[in-house]
């Protein structure tokens, strides 16, 4: 009887262990892509870059990033409940050429976040996120070609109203807990208010002004994804 009881207890323990193993697990996905730009479009002579005048223009360039991160829990190793945080920056800088052309210093940034629900089917994932908080900003400076001082120094910022993000991808396991692959991420967002500051025209400044017509932004980007499941 004691042996039977011990065997029964062992069987229950193993079954519970297997059930617990299949029941839930931690899930982290880190997706990202570099952003590289190089252009002399800002020269202003043609709208698309280049010049018809005898002057030198330094092309503006910059290397930034676009990052999407999700932390969650995968119930039954299939249904994901989590939270997503996105951030990115895209700088663009070009030196002025003395007495010939102005320089440029631009920077675009964004952050947004929200709860995520998803499905995990083997190596495939499908994640949907509701974006409830975030902002995007853009700074724009023209650098004088003679003095090196800023001829224009403007800053724009907009607060997120709402949005959503869909992340579909495939990752191949490289170890027991680590997978590497690719994701296709679509994001759509609208913005409810804006802030503007101008160094040369402070009278034009405004803070957190509500839009009568909300600006909308949508994008579709492929990204490299790393998944940690444990």
Does residue 156 fall inside a structural domain?
yes
Task: Answer whether residue 57 is part of any domain.
Answer: yes
Query: Is the pLDDT assigned to residue 138 strictly greater than 90?
Result: yes
Q: Which residue has the tokens 């062992």?
A: 10
Residue at 13 is within a domain = no
The residue with tokens 């210093």 is: 105
Q: Is the pLDDT of residue 189 over 90?
A: yes
The Cα 156–Cα 136 span in angstroms is 8
Rounded to whole angstroms, the Cα distance separating 125 from 113 reads 19
SS3 assignment, position 11: helix
State the CATH number of the domain containing residue 196: 2.40.160
Instruction: Select the more confidently predicted residue: 162 or 2.
Output: 162
Which tens digit of pLDDT belongs to each residue from 37-53? 998 776 656 667 777 77
The Cα 140–Cα 49 span in angstroms is: 17
> What's the pLDDT at 14?
35
For residue 9, tell me if it sits in a domain.
no
Q: Structural domain tally of the chain?
A: 1
**Is residue 188 in a domain?**
yes
**Domain, as residue range, for 172:** 24-229
pLDDT of residue 164: 98
Q: pLDDT at position 43, please?
A: 62
> Any idea what the Cα angle at residue 42 is, between residues 39 and 45, rounded to 5°?
115
Tell me how crowded residue 51 is: count the other CB atoms within 10 A of its CB: 15
Residue 1 lies in a domain: no
**pLDDT tens, residue by residue, 8-26:** 433 333 333 343 344 479 9
Q: Is residue 4 part of a domain?
A: no
What integer pLDDT is reported at residue 6 of this predicted model? 35
The H helix count followed by the E strand count for the chain is 1, 10
Instruction: Report whether pLDDT(181) > 60.
Output: yes
Judge whether 196 lies within some domain: yes
pLDDT of 30 above 90: yes
């Amino acid at each position: 009887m004691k042996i039977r009881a011990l065997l029964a207890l062992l069987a229950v323990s193993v079954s519970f262990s297997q059930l617990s193993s299949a029941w839930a697990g931690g899930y982290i996905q880190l997706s990202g892509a570099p952003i590289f730009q190089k252009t002399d479009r800002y020269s202003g002579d043609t709208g698309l870059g280049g010049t018809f005048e005898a002057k030198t223009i330094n092309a503006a360039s910059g290397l930034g990033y676009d990052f999407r991160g999700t932390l969650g829990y995968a119930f039954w190793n299939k249904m994901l409940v989590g939270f997503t945080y996105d951030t990115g920056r895209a700088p663009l800088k070009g030196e002025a050429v003395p007495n010939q052309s102005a320089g440029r210093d631009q920077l675009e940034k964004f952050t947004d976040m929200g709860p995520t629900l998803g499905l995990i089917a083997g190596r495939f994932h499908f994640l949907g996120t509701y974006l409830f908080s975030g902002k995007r900003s853009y700074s724009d400076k023209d650098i004088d070609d003679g003095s090196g001082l800023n001829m224009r120094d403007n800053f724009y910022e907009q607060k997120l109203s709402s949005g959503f993000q869909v992340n579909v991808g495939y990752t191949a396991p490289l170890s027991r807990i680590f997978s590497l692959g690719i994701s296709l991420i679509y994001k759509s967002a609208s913005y409810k208010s804006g802030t503007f500051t101008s160094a040369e025209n402070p009278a034009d400044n405004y803070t957190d002004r509500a839009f009568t017509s909300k600006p909308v932004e949508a994008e579709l980007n492929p990204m490299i994804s790393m998944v940690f499941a444990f």
